[in-house]
Every structure is written in C-alpha cells, then in structure tokens.
C-alpha cells in the first residue's frame, strides 16, 4: 500500500511494516509483491527491493528509470521458471527480470507497444498475455510475442485507453476504461456496463474480487456487481457502496473485510456491514 510519506507493507501472519520516503516531495513509488519479495519502482530511480530495513536498488544501471510507471506479471510460461517476471513500461518497452538480471525483450508486437505505451499487463489462464494500452485498446499476445487478437473501439470497446484488466472465474476479461467497465468473453461478444446498468461514466481505477463479487474503484466512489436474477427478469448490474463519494484508488480483499484506499484516507467495510468505516485520513495511492 502506497500512502503519503511512505509505504505500508503487510504479509499474512506478519506485523505491519512502514517504509518511509526520503522526503515529502519524493514521487510515490509503485509497490509489487513478487513471490514474497517486496519490489519497489520509483520513477527516475528504477527498481528497488525492501531489504534489511531499507530500500536497496536491485540493478546498478537500471533501464527502467526513464519510465513513469511499470507493470509486472508472470514471465514466459514456456520457460518453466515461475520466478521469471515480465515487466512492461509506460513508454512501451518490455523486459524480463530473472535473478536480478534485466533483459530487454524484443517481440513482433514491440514496435506497436512503443507507439502506444503500456498501462497494465496480465497473464491469462490460457497463457496469453493481455496488455492494456494508451491508444490501441487491449492487445492479446501469444507467449512468443505475436498479436493473436485486438480489442478496440472498432470492435465495440468503449474506449481506446484501458487502465486495468482482471480475468474472472469464467475466464472472461474485464477492462477498466475511461468510460466504464467492459466484460469481454474472448470467444464470444463481450458485455458493456453503462449508466442503465447502475454504473456512472467515470475513470475505472482498480478492480478486486471480494466474497465472490466483483468490486471496482472509480474517480467517484466504488461499486459491486450484483448477479443476474433471470427468474425475476433482472440482468447483472452494479450497485454503489453506500456513503462513499471519494476517489477510490485501490481495493484489497481480506478475510476481515474490504479495504478501500481513497484520496480522503483508508476505509474498511467489515463482512457484517455494508457501509465503509474510515480508518485514516491520509490519502492513499495503492493497496497490494
């Protein structure tokens, strides 16, 4: 979790750790948990890990430093090494990170990625890679780096800019765009959710699945997906979490309830309550 002044790190069964920033003006870092290792990216400073009570740079000459942001997902599955990580940068470059060695990856799709930039990547169950881009919608890429499918406005997607992706239990792909959530069945036409489905037209900042329900965080509030009730003639639709108007930047499902990181602080929705309870008043950037 990224917060003003530093990072809050919590592993199951371990105490909370606070990682302070060097000063209040330092860029809020991105925080990743890769196989139990806390990896930190700071724009302009590159990739670090939290070790021995402080941030330590992983690589002396870090090619990631020029990027404003990165995204990390599982590396090439065919390699057979689950510890290998694939890193995409905001300026459209791809790298493989293995044993603290960063290798530039050049694929058939690389030229297009440099043109459009990478916002988010997710390795799918079928081993393809889903890439959310700035201007080209979603690119589905094979383990060999070739485009197998493109999902964009010409194919019905609401926006060319996609911020986040999550694969659901039915292997559908949900995409957070500038204008709402699209559910894409990769074999059949996908589902679009708009105002008539209970969802305001706003930026989608994050997704999570909590207690079997899809939750989304938006620039104004958070919503959860109510399942369809065919017997009553009700389609699936989104309902807002009550009394929440803040910008929701991150969501984290826990056994004790749903944690909600907003620009107005950290909120918690216990399993036995519907209305979020405010825990802190400091703005939060991310929950991991």
Give the pLDDT mean for 194-215.
Answer: 80
CB-CB contact of 279 with 265 (8 Å): yes
For 21-54, how does the pLDDT look when each residue is reduced to its tens digit (9 = 90+)?
A: 555 544 567 878 777 777 888 888 888 887 777 7
Contacts of 194 (CB under 8 A, 6+ apart): 179, 180, 201
The answer to whether residues 9 and 29 touch, using CB atoms and an 8 Å cutoff, is no
Helix (H) or strand (E) holding 88: strand 85-89
Q: Are 52 and 59 in contact (CB under 8 A)?
A: no
Enter the tokens of residue 136.
Answer: 């080209």
Between CA 145 and CA 167 the distance in angstroms is 20
**What tokens were used for 103?**
């290798």
**How far apart (Å, rounded) are the C-alpha atoms in residues 220 and 154?**
28
Q: pLDDT tens digit string along 232-258?
A: 556 678 888 888 888 888 888 888 888
With residue 34 as reference, give the H or E element that holds it: strand 30-34
Q: What is the pLDDT of residues 148-200, one digit of tens each?
A: 888 888 677 888 999 999 998 877 899 999 888 888 887 765 566 766 677 77
Domains and CATH numbers, the chain: 1-66 (no CATH), 76-286 (2.130.10.10)
* DSSP character string of 112-141: HHHHH-EEEEEE-TTS-EEEEESSS-EEEE
d(C-alpha 130, C-alpha 73), whole Å? 10
Q: Which residues pair with 150 in a beta bridge?
A: 139
pLDDT band at 230 (very low <50, low <70, confident <90, very high): very low
For the chain, the helix, strand and coil percentages under 3-state DSSP, each to the nearest 5? 5, 50, 45
The angle formed by the CA atoms of residues 88, 113 and 217, to the nearest 5 degrees, is 60
> Which pairs from 221-229 meet CB under 8 Å and 24+ separation?
221/245, 221/246, 221/248, 222/248, 222/251, 222/260, 223/198, 223/199, 226/198
Specify whether the CB–CB gap between 86 and 75 falls below 8 A: yes
Interval 77-134: pLDDT, tens: 444 555 788 999 999 999 998 888 889 999 999 999 999 999 999 999 888 999 999 9
d(CA 280, CA 287): 14
What's residue 220's pLDDT?
Answer: 87
Helix (H) or strand (E) run with residue 111 in it:
helix 110-116
Give the Cα-Cα-Cα angle 241, 287, 139 (nearest 5 degrees).
90
Query: What DSSP designation does 35 have?
Result: T
């Amino acid at each position: 979790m990224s917060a003003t002044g530093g990072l809050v790190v919590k592993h199951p069964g371990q105490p909370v750790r606070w990682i302070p920033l060097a000063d209040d003006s330092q860029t809020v870092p991105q925080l990743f948990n890769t196989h139990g290792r806390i990896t930190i990216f700071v724009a302009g400073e590159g990739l670090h890990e939290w070790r021995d009570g402080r941030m330590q740079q992983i690589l002396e000459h870090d090619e990631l430093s020029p990027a404003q942001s990165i995204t990390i997902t599982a590396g090439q599955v065919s390699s057979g090494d689950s510890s290998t990580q694939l890193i995409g940068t905001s300026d459209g470059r791809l790298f493989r990170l293995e044993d603290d060695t960063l290798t530039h990856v050049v694929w058939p799709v690389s030229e297009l990625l440099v043109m459009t930039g990478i916002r988010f990547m997710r390795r799918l169950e079928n081993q393809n890679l889903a890439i959310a881009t700035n201007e080209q919608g979603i690119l589905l890429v094979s383990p060999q780096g070739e485009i197998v499918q493109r999902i964009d406005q010409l194919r019905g997607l609401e926006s060319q800019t996609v911020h986040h992706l999550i694969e659901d239990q039915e292997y559908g792909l949900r995409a957070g765009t500038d204008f709402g959530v699209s559910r894409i069945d990769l074999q059949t036409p996908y589902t679009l959710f708009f105002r008539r489905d209970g969802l305001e037209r706003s930026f989608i900042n994050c997704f999570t699945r909590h207690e079997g329900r899809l939750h989304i965080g938006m620039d104004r509030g958070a919503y959860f997906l109510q399942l369809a009730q065919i017997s009553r003639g009700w389609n699936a639709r989104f309902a807002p979490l009550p009394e929440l108007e803040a910008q929701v930047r991150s969501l984290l499902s826990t056994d004790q309830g749903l944690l909600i990181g907003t620009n107005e602080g950290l909120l918690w929705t216990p399993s036995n309550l519907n209305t979020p309870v405010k825990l802190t008043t400091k703005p939060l950037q991310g929950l991991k």
